[in-house]
């Protein structure tokens, strides 16, 4: 049996629009230009790193404390948007595939940099599908560092070599490979050279050889 470790945003759910709207409120308040192209650079990186990318266009230097306040303000906006999420925000194919993987005896875990992971899982009624959750609350380094995936493997009691990471971001694929795990890519990550399994649709996870 394998352990499947799933990134959250862009794989199981899609909250990109909420992240964008929250960061846009911060950028607009600071008078900094921010659009969807810049927002794409934020995918798969931590909240503070995302803020640094946005502040590249600022002529003002901000203290660490000011940055912490901005990041917290962004997260408050984001959490307000997340309250609108429901179980209907999860594609039926995602629920069906997760249920089938569990039926087959595989372990399932989350490996996400987001500190809002558990809240999103609760809002979408996905929490009970997973044996372990490794997220932004228990890591100090974000992807492409492998920490989040290595901790997920530890939490379920498995070795990296028996884990398959499902990711939509290149930074996530890099993290999976750095962890010594196999990587299944969906979306942008499906076309990345280091991806082991290229998925066009989520349900194709069930077609991975050897599971």
Neighbours of 206 (CB within 10 A): 12
Amino acid 211: pLDDT: 79
3 state SS of 80: helix
Amino acid 40: pLDDT: 87
Residue 7 is a catalytic residue: yes
Q: Would you place residue 56 in the very low, low, confident or very high pLDDT band (cuts 50, 70, 90)?
A: very high
Residue 188 has pLDDT above 80, yes or no: yes
Using alpha carbons, select from 5, 7, 12, 210 the residue that is nearest to residue 104. Answer: 210
Residue 185 has pLDDT above 90, yes or no: yes
Residue 100 has pLDDT above 90, yes or no: yes
Amino acid 181: pLDDT: 98
Which parts of the chain fold into alpha helices (H)?
16-30, 36-40, 47-54, 64-82, 92-103, 117-123, 147-156, 170-178
Q: Would you place residue 142 in the very low, low, confident or very high pLDDT band (cuts 50, 70, 90)?
A: confident
Q: Would you place residue 30 in the very low, low, confident or very high pLDDT band (cuts 50, 70, 90)?
A: very high
Residue 210 has pLDDT above 90, yes or no: no
Amino acid 24: pLDDT: 97
In order of start, what are the domains of the chain with their CATH numbers?
Answer: 3-13+87-207 (3.40.50.1000), 16-82 (1.10.150.240)
Q: Looking at residues 88-111, what average pLDDT do you find?
A: 98
Is there a contact between 6 and 94 (Cβ–Cβ < 8 Å)?
no
Q: Looking at residues 13-30, what average pLDDT do you find?
A: 94
Choose, from 7, 135, 145, 168, the residue flagged as catalytic.
Answer: 7
Residue 44 has pLDDT above 80, yes or no: no
Using alpha carbons, select from 145, 142, 147, 149 the residue that is nearest to residue 166. Answer: 149
What is the pTM for the complete model shown?
0.84
As a whole-number percent, the residues of the chain with pLDDT over 90 amount to: 91
Amino acid 46: pLDDT: 80
What is the secondary structure of 142-168 as a DSSP string?
-TTSSHHHHHHHHHHT--GGGEEEEES
Report d(CA 123, CA 193) in Å as an integer: 34
Amino acid 202: pLDDT: 98
Residue 43 has pLDDT above 80, yes or no: no
């Amino acid at each position: 049996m394998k352990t499947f470790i799933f990134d959250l945003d862009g794989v199981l759910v899609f909250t990109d629009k909420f992240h964008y709207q929250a960061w846009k409120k911060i950028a607009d308040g600071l008078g900094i230009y921010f659009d969807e192209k810049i927002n794409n650079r934020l995918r798969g990186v931590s909240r503070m790193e995302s803020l640094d990318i946005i502040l590249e266009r600022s002529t003002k230097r901000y203290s660490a404390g000011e940055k912490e306040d901005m990041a917290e303000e962004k997260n408050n906006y984001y959490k307000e948007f997340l309250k609108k999420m429901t179980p209907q925000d999860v594609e039926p194919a995602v629920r069906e595939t997760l249920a089938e993987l569990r039926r087959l005896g595989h372990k399932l875990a989350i490996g996400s940099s987001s500190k809002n992971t558990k809240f999103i899982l609760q809002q979408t009624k996905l929490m009970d599908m997973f044996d372990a959750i490794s997220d932004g609350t228990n890591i100090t380094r974000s992807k492409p560092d492998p920490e989040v995936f290595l901790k997920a493997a530890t939490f379920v009691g498995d070795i990296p070599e028996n884990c398959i990471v499902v990711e939509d971001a290149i930074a996530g694929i890099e993290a999976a490979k750095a962890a010594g795990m196999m990587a299944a890519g969906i979306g942008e990550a499906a076309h990345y050279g280091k991806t082991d399994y290229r998925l066009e649709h989520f349900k194709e996870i069930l077609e991975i050889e050897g599971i």
